[in-house]
């Protein structure tokens, strides 16, 4: 029989032991959670939005109802998390809050309408979804965010800073596999968010040669020779693919077949989803708790703003005073606890000393009794009686016990 293993076998995570690259540490990370009324759609939308923010997001994050924003803020610095996105659902509608750690600002959006990623992919004629495209962050494209107002600048900077920056001189084109497009409609004041996968297709090749370059099996039916298959002209798969106005010149060689350096290629987009239409409702100065910098429906005068600011300052001072009193009470309780602990240790020490003195006295008496018995043997030459040199208190206890026993027997005889 084999030896039985004791305890649990725990493997060490080598990724945690190894230091993270500087580019990964400096990249913006995010938490995507949901709050409010439960529902299947808000959970699926949260998961789809996490797919957009890949790979610098917590994809398997499991939040609980009892988790507060302070819980996420307390671990954000340790995990290099810079942004928090909250999908909330109420009886009126669905909202999205985008927060910047650790001190804000916070942007409140109303979700006008949305479509889940599974619905977008199921309705597409051609699908381009695989895990490799989610290993790198997407390219962010902003359109029409150049309007006047502080809220426009905050929205543009918030969307840009949620994704890593790209250096045009050192960027590797093989890492750009996705793009996120954000379009602002100035008339309806809505933002349309779209998520696409990028595919680069070589140009200037016939349909047959393109299949061979892309390692596809050609269909030679209707061709007398292989030359007929290569030389015949065929209609392309899409009209826009071979349009010269939509072509680009590659500055690097791509990993896909046929896309060489300094060659013409066309860019095709495959929608991944989700589709979300947003409207900015409110901008807060702090992290979900601060002054209102912008509100879409409510407009207040300067006097009202000053009055609200005074009330907020008063509440802040009251809270600080309460926290100060709580801190002092806590310190007083800890001090009293420490004093009680010291007193208990001193009492236990005195008790041990008294016990040690009693043991020493008992041992001295036993030693004296042994000395008297030895002296009796040497002088008389006989063994002393058993009760001659015993402790008087012991003999007294035995005597009293015998008398009580005798009296009880005598009482029973009467």
**pLDDT, position 49:** 95
Residue 119 has pLDDT above 90, yes or no: yes
∠ at Cα 116 (99, 288), nearest 5°?
Answer: 15
In this structure, of 102-106, 229-233, 372-376, the range with the lowest mean pLDDT score is 229-233
Q: Considering the chain, what is the average pLDDT of its residues?
A: 81
Question: What is residue 4's DSSP assignment?
Answer: P
Mean pLDDT of 339-362: 87
Looking at domain 18-203+267-299, its CATH architecture is 3-Layer(aba) Sandwich (3.40)
**pLDDT, position 28:** 93
pLDDT band at 390 (very low <50, low <70, confident <90, very high): low
In this structure, of 91-95, 143-147, 221-225, the range with the lowest mean pLDDT score is 221-225
**pLDDT, position 126:** 83
Both ends of the chain: CA-CA distance in Å?
75
Residue 4 has pLDDT above 60, yes or no: no
* Those residues with Cβ within 8 angstroms of residue 305's Cβ, 6 or more apart along the chain or in another chain: none
**pLDDT, position 149:** 84
Task: Report whether 136 contacts 320 (CB < 8 A).
Answer: no
Instruction: Look at 308 and 221; give whichever has higher pLDDT.
Output: 308
Q: What are the structural domain ranges in the chain?
A: 18-203+267-299, 301-403
pLDDT band at 17 (very low <50, low <70, confident <90, very high): low
Max mean pLDDT among 3-17, 108-122, 362-376 falls in: 108-122
Mean pLDDT of 88-115: 92
Residue 308 has pLDDT above 50, yes or no: yes
pLDDT band at 398 (very low <50, low <70, confident <90, very high): very low
Instruction: Look at 248 and 85; give whichever has higher pLDDT.
Output: 85
Q: Is 293 exposed, middle or buried (0-12, 13-18, 19+ CB in 10 A)?
A: middle
Residue 212 has pLDDT above 80, yes or no: no
Mean pLDDT of 351-363: 85
**pLDDT, position 291:** 83
- Of 256, 272, 312, the closest CA to residue 121 belongs to 272
pLDDT band at 221 (very low <50, low <70, confident <90, very high): low
How far is Cα of residue 130 from the mean position of the Cα atoms in its chain?
25
């Amino acid at each position: 029989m084999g030896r039985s293993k004791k305890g649990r076998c725990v493997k060490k995570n080598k990724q945690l032991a190894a230091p993270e690259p500087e580019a990964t540490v400096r990249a913006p990370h995010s938490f995507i959670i949901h709050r409010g009324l439960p529902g299947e759609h808000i959970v699926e939308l949260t998961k789809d939005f996490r797919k957009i923010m890949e790979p610098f997001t917590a994809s398997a994050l499991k939040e609980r109802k009892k988790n507060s924003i302070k819980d996420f803020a307390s671990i954000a610095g340790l995990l290099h998390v810079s942004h928090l996105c909250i999908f909330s659902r109420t009886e009126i509608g669905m909202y999205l809050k985008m927060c910047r750690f650790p001190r804000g600002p916070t942007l409140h959006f109303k979700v006008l309408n949305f479509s889940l990623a599974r619905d977008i992919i199921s309705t597409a004629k051609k699908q381009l979804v695989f895990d490799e495209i989610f290993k790198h962050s997407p390219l962010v494209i902003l359109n029409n965010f150049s309007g006047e107002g502080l809220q426009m600048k905050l929205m543009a900077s918030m969307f840009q800073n949620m994704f890593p920056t790209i250096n045009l001189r050192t960027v590797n084109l093989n890492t750009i596999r996705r793009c996120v497009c954000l379009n602002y409609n100035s008339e309806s004041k809505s933002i349309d968010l779209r998520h696409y996968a990028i595919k680069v297709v070589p140009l200037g090749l016939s349909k047959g040669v393109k299949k061979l370059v892309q390692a596809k099996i050609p269909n030679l039916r209707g061709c007398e020779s292989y030359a007929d298959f290569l030389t015949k002209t065929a209609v392309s798969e899409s009209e826009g693919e071979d349009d010269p106005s939509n072509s680009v010149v590659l500055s690097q060689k791509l990993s896909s077949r046929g896309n060489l350096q300094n060659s013409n290629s066309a860019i095709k987009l495959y929608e991944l989803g989700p589709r979300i239409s947003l409207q900015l409702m409110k901008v807060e100065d702090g992290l979900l708790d601060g002054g209102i910098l912008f509100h879409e429906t409510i407009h207040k005068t300067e006097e009202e703003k000053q009055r609200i600011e005074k009330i907020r300052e008063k509440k802040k001072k009251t809270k600080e005073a309460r926290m100060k009193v709580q801190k002092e009470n806590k310190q007083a309780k800890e001090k009293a606890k420490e004093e009680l602990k010291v007193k208990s240790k001193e009492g236990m020490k005195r008790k041990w000393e008294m016990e040690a003195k009693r043991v020493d006295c008992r041992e001295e008496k036993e030693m004296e009794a042994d000395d008297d018995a030895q002296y009796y043997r040497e002088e008389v030459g006989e063994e002393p009686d058993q009760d001659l040199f015993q402790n008087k208190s012991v003999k007294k206890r035995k005597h009293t016990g015998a008398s009580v026993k005798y009296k009880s027997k005598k009482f029973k005889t009467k």
